[in-house]
Amino acid sequence: MMLGVVRRKVASDASSALIKRKSWHWSRPVVSTPRVSTAVAEEIFLHPGCTRSFSDFTFSGSLDLTSSRGIKDNFLPQFTMHTWKRPFCSNSGDLVDAVVPFMGESISDGTLATLLKKPGDKVEVDEPIAQIETDKVTIDVASPEAGVIQKFVAKEGDTVEPGTKIAVISKSGDGVTHVAPSEKPAEKATPEKKVEQPKQKVESAAAEVKKAEKPKTEAKASPPPPKVTATEPQLPPKERERRVPMTRLRKRVATRLKDSQNTFALLTTFNEVDMTNLMKLRSDYKDAFVEKHGVKLGLMSGFVKAAVSGLQNQPIINAVIDGDDIIYRDYIDISIAVGTPKGLVVPVIRNADKMNFAEIEKEINTLAKKASDGSISIDEMAGGSFTISNGGVYGSLLSTPIINPPQSAILGMHSIVNRPMVVGGNIIPRPMMYVALTYDHRLIDGREAVLFLRRIKDVVEDPRRLLLDV
């Protein structure tokens, strides 16, 4: 995190003066007579995570600072105010609030999934103290200061928004006791009962009237019973079963996949690819490739380059329907489906058409690592014009992938299996892979889909086509 430095120069002369909002109370008023003074340079250091708000007002002419009202009345049309804010923590002396950070433009809230610390634990600057689970990624709430956690304001399972206070941290550790959170409500409950008892005796007459009206009020205010729909059956509890709430990511994936089925006219076409030449290319140059580029040469980069070639030959595969219009994308951003313990995420390789094999492999490794450890950002998963899903890493022989909205097609890769093939009139074993293309038949005709998949097959079976562009 960067350390912000703000420089302000204060100079007073006959024509101008600069007044800071934090310095309203001066020991003596400023007179309008000209005075000579030296320029004073001031530096204000904003510690990462601290909420600071300060403003500069620039006036012209003489000033009367005996009251802020006089400034507003006399010089309101003539001043300019500049305000700086750091919104993700608040600092009041020794106590600092840790709040939910900005989670992305498309994410308005999240669920407080896990509290990584307990009250009384020591924390360092930027050390994660809680995790927020969103529809797409898991975001850490970091401590803005080094100190001791005094208390947690929110609890696990709460829905929180950016700026919501999560914990209070004491920089010095004063007043922090190791008390379990479950004991705090019990201490507060006792005095509340004592205060309520005398009120009931004094206002007994009013209470009787309220009791008579209570049944009517409660009958009106009681919420209707939850409706049980056919799509979400509430099964009766059984032995050796347990009910676990779905994570936000899993609910989001379920919603998007079902929306895809309900919206698109899904159709899948298949082909098979002989992997002999691509595997031989990798075997021949894997050592030299690692030595020069510092990354292993895999099969995925070959399929990404093949997909780029196919999208360039069939631009309609890279397009999408928007209302009554068709949007043609003049860029190629390839999404790579990655399965993680928390659910499916789809990071995006930007401008794949401008990348070589080494750059693609490096980007895939970086994104896959971030997706696995949960550090991938929203921006790294946003967009994408075409998706590649490799179910072969799990042993899938054949499948029909579902389109990732708002795209129009998805390529499914599968496991490589040696099968007897006829080559030159002879039956020999060959490493074969089934490939599948699911596409939106509202936009893409069968001809374009088959030609696209055929281009994938031709490039993978003979990578020299990429060099000759044939």
Domain boundaries, the chain: 4-86, 91-177, 250-468
Identify the CA nearest to 433 among candidates 445, 419, 453, 448.
Answer: 419
DSSP 163: T
* Strand ranges inside 194-278, DSSP E: 266-274
The CATH architecture that domain 250-468 belongs to is 2-Layer Sandwich (3.30)
Indicate which residues carry an active-site annotation: 441, 445
What is the pTM (predicted TM-score) of this model?
Answer: 0.59
Scored b (16 or more CB within 10 A) or e, 236-268 reads eeeeeeeeeeebbbeebbeeeeeebeeebebbb
Assigned CATH topology for domain 91-177: OB fold (Dihydrolipoamide Acetyltransferase, E2P) (2.40.50)
Identify the CA nearest to 340 among candidates 249, 252, 414.
Answer: 249
According to DSSP, the residues that pair with 249 across neighbouring strands are none
DSSP 379: T
- Which residues 6+ apart lie within 8 Å of 267 measured at CB? 438, 439, 441, 446, 449
Identify the CA nearest to 338 among candidates 264, 394, 378, 266.
Answer: 394
One digit per residue, the tens of pLDDT, for the chain of length 470 reads 344 444 444 333 434 343 344 434 444 444 444 444 333 434 444 444 444 444 444 444 444 444 444 444 444 444 444 444 444 444 556 888 888 888 776 677 888 888 888 898 999 988 888 888 887 677 888 888 888 998 898 888 888 888 888 899 988 776 555 444 444 444 444 444 444 444 444 444 444 544 445 444 444 455 555 554 445 566 677 788 888 888 887 888 888 889 899 999 999 999 999 999 999 999 999 999 999 999 999 999 999 999 999 999 999 999 999 999 999 999 999 999 988 877 788 999 999 999 999 999 999 999 988 888 878 888 888 889 999 999 999 999 999 999 998 999 999 999 999 999 999 899 999 999 999 999 999 999 999 999 999 999 999 999 999 988 88
Measured distance between the N- and C-terminal CA atoms of the chain, rounded to whole angstroms: 48
Structure tokens at 161: 């928004």
**How many CB atoms are closer than 10 A to CB 229?**
8
* Element spanning 437, H or E: strand 426-440
Q: Report how far residue 18's alpha carbon sits from residue 146's, in angstroms, rounded to the nearest whole number.
A: 35
Q: Report how far residue 354's alpha carbon sits from residue 331's, in angstroms, rounded to the nearest whole number.
A: 10
